[in-house]
Amino acid sequence: MLDDDLNQLLLIVTIVSGGALWLLEGVAPFFRNRRARLKHALLNFSVAALNALVSSILLAVSLAVLNYVRPHWQGLKGLVENEIAAALLLVVIYDLWMYAWHRLNHAVPFFWRFHRFHHQDSEMDVTTGFRFHPFEIIFSEVIRVPILILLGMGAFEILLYNLLSFPIILMHHSNIALPARLDVALSYLVPSPNVHRLHHSVNPAESNANFGSMLSIWDRLFGSLIWRENLTSLRLGVEVREL
């Protein structure tokens, strides 16, 4: 029952936060003169709809595997007695996996072939946070199963991670112009919009950095965090020669 409530809350939070960010982009955009925003959003949402279907099917399979394993293996979760502490610990460690998986998508040519689809959006905004190649979704869902087993994660922890991370992911993809001090302050905890904009730069030296999804600590710990004061000349997307 709790999982169903979390799932409904996740849907509500995603719709409300995504919609609010999209409206704010029209009021206080970082990159101006964006036209055909609705057409751009509909294109990305059409991809997201397909991915949601694929992801829901694979998630159901993953949960079936996890439920089968759970009586025989508790994973890291079984070592922590307090359920709330265990859930929060698993969420943080799983975010480390998301950081590592993101780096792999840039470092391994086979994975980059599909992750590049996300970076090809040269007019990145909040809807880009939904834009991923379906094959990347498939690889992500399948490859993470051993990680979920190792950690002992179930539906609750997966939904909790999504509930906490989705609004942050949508925020740092958004085209909102935050006050400079606020953006810097945010970057100490989560990837701020300016931090993630650099990750979507056409310059590989910048796009191969700032990999954090929910927390920015991993980029700081592993030396992959970069910063640029002035982003007004930043070009987003992928160089044509890479295509």
pLDDT one-digit tens code per residue, 94-134: 999 999 999 999 999 999 999 999 999 999 999 999 999 99
Dig out the tokens for 52 from the structure.
């949601």
Q: What is the pLDDT of residue 187?
A: 96
Confidence band for 210, pLDDT divided at 50, 70 and 90: very high
Confidence band for 229, pLDDT divided at 50, 70 and 90: confident
236 in helix, strand or coil? strand
Given a cut of 50, whether residue 243 has pLDDT beyond it is no
Mean pLDDT of the 217-233 span? 94
Average of per-residue pLDDT values in the chain: 94
Q: Residue 154 region, left (φ>0) first, then alpha (ψ -120 to 50), else beta?
A: beta
Provide the 8-state DSSP code for 210: -
Given a cut of 80, whether residue 1 has pLDDT beyond it is no
Q: What is the pLDDT of residue 5?
A: 79
Mean pLDDT of the 76-97 span? 94
pTM: 0.93
Distance CA 161, CA 163 (A): 5
Distance CA 129, CA 221 (A): 24
Q: How many CB atoms lie within 10 A of CB 184?
A: 14
Task: Determine the structural domain holding residue 172 and report its residue range.
Answer: 2-242
Dig out the tokens for 92 from the structure.
């943080």
Helix axes 2-27, 37-69, angle to 10 degrees: 160
Residue type, 174: S
Q: What is the pLDDT of residue 37?
A: 95
Number of structural domains the chain divides into: 1
% of the chain residues with pLDDT over 90: 87
Q: What is the pLDDT of residue 35?
A: 84
